[in-house]
Amino acid sequence: MKILHCPLNGPRNISEFVYGGQVKPMPNPESATDTEWAAYVFYENNSIGVVQEWWLHAPSSYWFIVERHNGSDTILRTYDPSELLSNPGMVSLEDAIQ
């Protein structure tokens, strides 16, 4: 059993979690061109290394961030998305949520 440390619920079996895609800044849907929007929807940085991902703890519907090495499957860090949303690089995502 692989364990994932949920920032809200503590260590749980990874089968309780759902992978939700890589963290990437969302362009403004009002002003983005089709190409920009397509790039956001379809393209991920699919290289080997440490990736920053959205994960959901399904039983508690809690979304959080996981930093994981996608070559060794080592989970490096998990944290609440508020940490990410306060990052200036993610402003557009915050705007979209508001």
| Binding region for another protein (CB under 8 A) out of 10-18, 24-32, 77-85, 86-94 | 10-18
Instruction: List phi, psi (to 5°) of 95.
Output: -60, -45
What are the Cα distances from residue 40, in Å, to 26, 28, 33, 58, 69?
7, 11, 11, 25, 22
- For residue 97, state whether it binds another protein (rule: CB under 8 A): no
Instruction: Write down the least CB distance from residue 72 to another protein, Å.
Output: 7
Residues that bind another protein (CB under 8 A): 1-2, 14-15, 18-19, 34-35, 38-39, 42-48, 51, 53, 70-73
